Structure 1
Amino acid sequence: MGSVTTRQDTNGLEYVDVDTELCKARIFMQGAQIDNFEPKGKPPLLWVSTADDYQPGNGIRGGIPVCWPWFGMSETADWPQHGFARTRIWSLDSVQMRNQAVELIFSLPISEEDRLYWPYNTKVEMRFTLTDTLEVSLINTNLGDETVSLTQALHTYFPIGDIHKLRATGFSHAKYIEFGQGPHDQQGDDVYFDRETDRVYTQLGQVQQLHTPQGVIKVRRENSRSAVLWNPWIDKSQRLSRFNSDDYLTMVCHEAANVLEDKVTLTPHASHTLTTIISWAD
C-alpha cells in the first residue's frame, strides 16, 4: 500500500517520509520544504547541496524552498531574503492516499512576530500531490476586506549532472531581465550555460524541458506569469552559504514564479494557486 510517516532528523527537524509503489519523498515541516522526490526505478528529481547541514532556522539549500510573501530582497532593509515562509514551521493539516497517490496539505501559521512582515489576514497553504510525478502548489487566500499584493516562487533545484552538457528548452519568443537589465528577447528556443545566469522570464510558455545526461526533466507551470532560471557559476558559488564551490556544476534552478511586475494581487476573499509539475519525460 505505502506509508506516510512523521520522523525527526538528527538536528531535531521534523519531516514527513513518504514511501509508495510509485515514489519516495521527504517533506520538512520547516518551510514545508520538499528535499527529496524519487519516482520508483528512476533518479531523484530534486538536488540538495552536500554542504547543507539541515540546521533549524536555515532554509535548506536545495529541494524546493518557498519564497513568500516576497521574492528576492525586500524593499525594507534587514528583512529576510525571499520572505519568511521558508524558515517557519508549517502545520500538516491533511494526508490522503488514493490508489498510491498521496496528497499532503500544509498551512503556515502567522505568528505575532511575522505580522511585522505580513499584517494581512490571509491563509497560506502548500499542497503536494505525489505519484510518479511531483506536483507542488502554493495556495494564497485573502480572508480579509482589503486588497493585498505579493510576489512568490517555488525555488526548485534540479540535478542536471553536468552544467556544460545541460540544454534547457521551451524558451522561444520569451523575454527576460538579467542583472537588472532588459527586457531582452530570448534568442531561439534553447538555453545553454557558460557563465552566471540569473534570468527572470516573462511571456514564457508553460512547459520547459531540461535535457541532462540522465534524461529529460519536464517542468510544467500553472498560474505562473514569470519564471526564474538560475545558476551561480564559479565566483558566486564561493560566496553562497551552505553551498560547495563546485556545486554549480551539478544543479540549476528553474522556478515557477510571479515576481516583479507579475506580482499577485488578491482582492478580498480571492484565492490564487501557483503550481509546478515535475517529472522525467518518457
Structure 2
Amino acid sequence: MNTFLLRDVVNADSSASISDYGAHVLTWTPAGQPPVIWRPAAVQLREGTAIRGGVPIIFPWFNTGWDGGRPVSKQPKHGFGRVSFWAFDETAVTDRHVRYTLDSTDFGDDLLAQLNSGDHPRFHATYDVEIGERIAMTLTVTNDGDEPLTYEAALHTYLHVGDVERIAVHGLESCDYLDNTQPGVPHCSATGEPITFDGMVDRTYLRGDEADTPITIEDPVLGRTIEIINAGAPQAVVWNPGQAAGDAMGDLAVGEWRGFVCVEAVARLDRSVTLAPGQTNTLSQTLSVR
C-alpha cells in the first residue's frame, strides 16, 4: 500500500503543501497573504479517490473523454493522473522547486487502451512546481511510443476568494465559450463583460489568439487581485458549483462553495494535444497576487 505523503515547501516569499498522490498542490500562501490556492477544511485522502481543492492534474482525458468528435465513457473520470502516486524526484528538490514524474509503464494495458493512441501508447510526464513570489506549475508530456499520442490535460486550479458572488473575473470578455450547464453544451458568443457568479457557472472559454492574455480575479472582500497566466492552454475553464450543487457535494461542507472559484488551464475536445513520436508538449499556469 502506498503512503500519503504531504511535502511542505517554505521560503521567505511563500509556502506550499504538495501531495505525492496526484502530484497535487494542496495550498500556496504568499507571505503576508491569505492562501491563494484553496482547499476545503477537511481534505479526504483515500487511494482511488480524487482530492478536492488544490490543483488536480487532469490527464490524459478530461471528464470522461472525447473521441471522433463526440464524448465517450473513459474511466476514471478526469483520467488517472490525479488518482495515481507520482514519483518524487529527490535530485531536483530545493526550497523553491519540486519535480514529479509519471510513466506509462506504471499502468496496465486496460487503462492505456483508453488513449486514442494506437495499440501500445507510451509516454512520460514531468510536473515542475516553482514556489516563490509566484507559483508556476508546468506539466510536460513526451511521446515515447512509435505512434501519435493524443491526450487531454488541465490544471484544475481552485482559487481562494472572499465570496464568489462578489468577485469579477477579467480577461475572457472577448472569448466565445461552451456552456457546460446547458443541455447539448451550446457554443455561446463572447459577452464583452467580466464573469460574475449568481448560481452555477461552468464554462469552457475558447481562447485562440488570447491564450496568453492574463486572467485576473478582482476580490473586494479580501482586497486583492489574483493574476493567472496560462501557457500552452487553448482553453480556460471557469467553474463554481453555486449553492444548490455545492451544498450537495459530499466532500464539501455546507457553504464552502462560496470560498473558491476554479480557473483552469485546459487543452481538451477538438483542442486536445497530439504528439508525434518523440515530441514533447508543455501546459503551464502561473499565479501571483497583488
Normalised by the length of structure 2, the TM-score is: 0.87
Amino acid at match of 2:215: Q
**Which position in structure 2 is the counterpart of 1:105?**
99
Structure 1 gap ranges (5+)? 1-10
Note the alpha carbon deviations across 1:113-137, whole angstroms, 9 max, x for none: 5432225110111110111100001
User: What is the alpha-carbon root mean square deviation over aligned residues?
Assistant: 1.8
Identify which of 8, 28, 32 aligns with 2:23. 32
C-alpha distance in 2, partners of 1:150/1:137? 16
Indicate the residue corresponding to 1:175 in structure 2: 176
* Distance in 1 between residues matched to 2:108 and 2:174, nearest whole Å: 40
Is the 2:53–2:157 Cα contact (8 Å) retained in structure 1?
yes
Matched, 1:44 2:35: yes
Over residues 99-122 of structure 1, what are the superposed CA-to-partner deviations in whole Å (9 max), with x where a residue is unaligned? x6x221100143565432225110
- Does the aligned pair in 2 maintain the 1:64–1:157 contact within 8 Å? yes
Partner of 1:264: 273
Give the letter for the 2:195 counterpart: V
- 1:96, 1:83 → 2: CA distance? 26
Corresponding residue of 2:92: 95
The question of 1:13 aligning with 2:20 is answered: no
Q: Secondary structure at the match of 1:217?
A: strand
Structure with a larger share of its residues in strand: 1
Q: Is 1:170–1:205's contact at 8 Å kept on the other side of the alignment? A: no
SS in 2 for 1:86: helix
Q: Is 215-224 or 34-43 further displaced after alignment? A: 34-43
Letter in 2 for 1:211: E
Question: Residue 5 of structure 1 corresponds to which residue in structure 2?
Answer: none
| Secondary structure, counterpart of 1:256 in structure 2 | strand
Are the counterparts in 2 of residues 91 and 109 from structure 1 also a CA contact under 8 Å?
A: no
Q: Could you tell me how far apart the structure 2 residues matched to 1:241 and 1:259 are?
A: 27
User: What's 1:190 paired with?
Assistant: 194
Which amino acid is the alignment partner of residue 266 of structure 1? L
Residue 205 (structure 2) aligns with: 201
1:65-112 Cα offsets, whole Å, 9 max, x none, are 010000112455461110011111111124243xx6x22110014356
Task: Specify the SS of the correspondent of 2:257.
Answer: helix
Farther-moved stretch of structure 1 (183-192 vs 134-143): 183-192
Distance 2:104 2:251 in 1: 27
1:8 aligned residue: none
Secondary structure (helix, strand or coil) at the match of 2:40 reads coil
State how far apart, in whole Å, the 2-side matches of 1:20 and 1:161 are: 25
Contact 1:69 1:150 in 2 (8 A): yes
Match of 1:67 in 2: 58
Percent of pairs identical after alignment? 26
Gaps of 5+ in 2: 66-70, 113-119
Encode CA deviations 1:214-248: one digit per residue, 9 max, x unaligned: 21000000010011000111222244231123222
The aligned amino acid for 1:42 is Q
Which structure's residues are more often helix, by fraction?
2
| Normalised TM-score (structure 1) | 0.89
1:170 and 1:189 in contact (8 A); partners too: no
Work out whether 1:211 is the aligned partner of 2:208: no
